[in-house]
């Protein structure tokens, strides 16, 4: 009997093709996460090592194959693998990160800055801790995996909505009560830049703006409309751009609460009058936070426009819908259209061409409505609804109208009780 190991080209092709119906069956036959390549050499099988985490990101299996991560249950797989705990006892100093917390949750920008804070502590040495400062309503549930050692939540009616005066007074009190080595803010339109500038004026510091390369010694900032870089000594207050550092993804942190003693703020001179209603389609696509996008699967365009109006969403479209003349070129999303950074992107009847997927690369949450459960858009989506788009949009509009009517009646009841 010959001991020669013979290649099976068909099996090798199926293992490399993750979309093949027999892919899982053949891949599971390979022991140790290895496959025999075309040259006859054993190679690591990258799709077998690790698992897909709750955010759709591939993570290494730290239990050395002792955990079973069934497909389609990404959250349970994430629970089986416990990340190592990073603990800081009796911190000597703090790096305070004032997060934007858009919608009450950490943004990708916030997480990049938390990663930079840990990088600065590693470079500066000492027993330092990263503290996240949050105002108002907080919905975030994963401060621990984002890199937060200490959590300072400053709540109260004075800090709701647009309240820069009250917030900067609270931050000045944090400066007085805690040994703060540096203040880190997102350089964003969500208020981080405004608040950082106010705090810098209050403390008499000269901040760094548009910072994108930072270490313990020096900071490189964008200047002259990003046409040149400005290098200076790293200051106490930094306003940072996105991707200034890698987010934390390999450790858990305590996220232990800390408090601020005797928070007192004076009467504000700026009054928040609430948000103004604007036409969603008047918002530039690149700045829109909620987009309803149509593709080749839309056949009732009147219904699509009505759905966007009921939901209060900015309209977008795939290249196919634009080329067919159903939507203007200014509404095209993708590498050949507009790159969007919405918090929620509902893709209706869009299969997910590579150019379109590039254009939504920085979108936070994608919702896919499609009849093809195996299309790329469904794989990218955080939530998928498989079915006819016309029926689903109809039901979605009904639910939105019911929610709006309920909110109006609740508000009217509160006003009557108050009267």
CATH number of domain containing 121: 3.40.50.620
- Contact residues for 190 (Cβ-Cβ < 8 A; gap 6+): 100, 102, 107
In a domain, 146, yes or no: yes
Whether residue 234 sits in one domain with residue 340: no
Percent of the chain with pLDDT over 90: 56
Residue-wise pLDDT for 214-272, tens only, equals 999 999 999 888 889 999 999 999 999 988 999 998 899 999 999 988 877 887 888 87
Q: What is the pTM of this model?
A: 0.65
Cβ-based burial of 310 (10 A; exposed 0-12, middle 13-18, buried ≥19)? middle
Mark whether 125 and 220 lie in a shared domain: yes
Q: Are residues 224 and 289 in the same domain?
A: no
> Do residues 207 and 291 both lie within one domain?
no
The number of CA neighbours under 13 Å toward the Cβ of 168 is: 19
In a domain, 291, yes or no: yes
Q: How many domains does the chain have?
A: 2
CB-neighbour burial class of residue 376 (10 A; exposed 0-12, middle 13-18, buried 19+): middle
Last residue of a domain, one of 219, 240, 257: 257
Asked if residue 351 is part of any domain, the answer here is yes
pLDDT band, residue 67 (cuts 50/70/90)? very low
> Which of 217, 241, 257 is where one domain is finished?
257
- 353 and 228 share a domain? no
**Domain finish residue from 214, 242, 257:** 257
User: Could you tell me the pLDDT band of residue 81, with boundaries at 50, 70 and 90?
Assistant: low
Q: What are the start-end ranges of the H helices in 297-367?
A: 301-311, 319-323, 354-359
CB count in 10 Å sphere of residue 44:
11
Q: Parallel, antiparallel, or unpaired: how do β-strands 85-86 and 252-253 relate?
A: parallel
Query: Quick check: 39 pLDDT over 70?
Result: no
Which residues, 6 or more positions from 3, have their beta carbon under 8 angstroms from its beta carbon? Answer: none
Any domain includes 152: yes
Same domain for 296 and 197: no
Domain extent for 382: 285-401
Query: Is 64 part of a structural domain of the chain?
Result: no
Q: Are residue 298 and residue 219 in the same domain, yes or no?
A: no
Mean pLDDT of the chain: 84
Is the domain of 102 the same as that of 223?
A: yes
Residue 98 lies in a domain: yes
CA–CA distance from 101 to each of 30, 78, 79, 253, 273 (Å)?
Answer: 44, 24, 25, 18, 21
pLDDT at 31 over 80: no
- Let me know whether 291 and 193 are in one domain: no
The whole-number pLDDT of residue 65 equals: 44
Classify residue 57: in a domain, yes or no.
Answer: no
- Residue 250 has what pLDDT? 87
How far apart are the C-alpha atoms of 33 and 287, rounded to whole Å?
43
Per-residue pLDDT reduced to its tens digit, 292-318: 999 999 999 999 999 999 999 999 999
* Same domain, yes or no: 128 and 252: yes
Give the CA angle between residues 221, 249, 218 to the nearest 5°.
20
Q: What is the CATH number of the domain that holds 348?
A: 3.40.50.1220
Q: Residues 97, 246: one domain?
A: yes
What is the arithmetic mean of pLDDT over 274-283?
Answer: 84
Q: What is the mean pLDDT of residues 101-127?
A: 92
Instruction: List CB contacts of 399: < 8 A, sequence separation 6 or more.
Output: none
The reply to whether 219 and 119 lie within a common domain is yes
pLDDT tens-place string over residues 163-208:
899 999 999 999 999 999 999 999 988 889 999 999 999 999 999 9
Give a yes or no: residue 173 inside a domain: yes
């Amino acid at each position: 009997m010959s001991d020669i190991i013979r290649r099976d080209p068909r099996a090798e092709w199926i293992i490399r093709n993750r979309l093949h119906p027999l892919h899982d069956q053949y891949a599971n036959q390979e022991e140790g996460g290895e496959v025999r390549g075309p040259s006859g050499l054993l190679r690591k099988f990258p799709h077998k090592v690790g698992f897909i985490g709750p955010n759709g990101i591939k993570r290494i299996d730290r239990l050395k194959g002792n955990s079973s991560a069934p497909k389609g249950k990404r959250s349970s797989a994430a629970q089986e693998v416990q990340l190592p705990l990073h603990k800081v006892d009796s911190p000597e100093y703090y790096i305070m990160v004032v997060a934007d917390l858009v919608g009450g949750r950490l943004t990708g920008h916030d997480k990049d800055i938390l990663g930079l804070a840990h990088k600065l502590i590693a470079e500066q040495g000492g027993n330092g801790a990263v503290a996240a400062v949050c105002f108002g309503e907080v919905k975030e549930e994963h401060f621990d995996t984002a890199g937060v050692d200490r959590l300072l939540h400053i709540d109260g009616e004075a800090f709701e909505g647009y309240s820069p005066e009250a917030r900067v007074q609270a931050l000045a009190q944090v400066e007085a009560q805690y040994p703060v080595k540096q203040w880190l803010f997102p350089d964003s339109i969500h208020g981080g830049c405004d608040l950082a500038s106010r705090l810098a004026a209050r403390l008499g510091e000269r901040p760094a703006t548009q910072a994108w390369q930072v270490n313990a010694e020096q900071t490189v900032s964008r200047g002259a409309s990003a046409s040149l870089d400005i290098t200076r000594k790293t200051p106490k207050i930094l306003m940072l751009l996105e991707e200034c550092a890698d987010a934390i993804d390999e450790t858990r942190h305590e996220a232990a609460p800390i408090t601020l003693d005797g928070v007192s703020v004076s009467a504000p001179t700026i009054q928040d009058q609430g948000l103004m209603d604007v036409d969603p389609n008047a918002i530039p696509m690149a700045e829109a936070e909620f987009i309803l996008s149509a593709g080749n699967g839309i056949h009732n365009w009147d219904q699509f426009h009505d759905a966007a109006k009921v939901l209060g969403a900015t309209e977008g479209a795939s290249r196919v819908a634009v080329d067919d003349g159903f939507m203007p070129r200014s509404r095209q999303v993708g590498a050949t259209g507009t790159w969007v950074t919405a918090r929620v992107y509902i893709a209706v009847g869009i299969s997910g061409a590579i150019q379109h997927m590039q254009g939504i690369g920085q979108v936070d949450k994608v919702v896919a409505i499609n009849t093809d459960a195996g299309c790329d858009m469904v794989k990218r989506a955080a939530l998928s609804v498989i079915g006819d788009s016309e029926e689903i949009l109809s039901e979605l509009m009904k639910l939105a109208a019911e929610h709006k009517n309920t909110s109006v009646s609740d508000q009217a009841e509160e006003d009557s009780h108050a009267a």
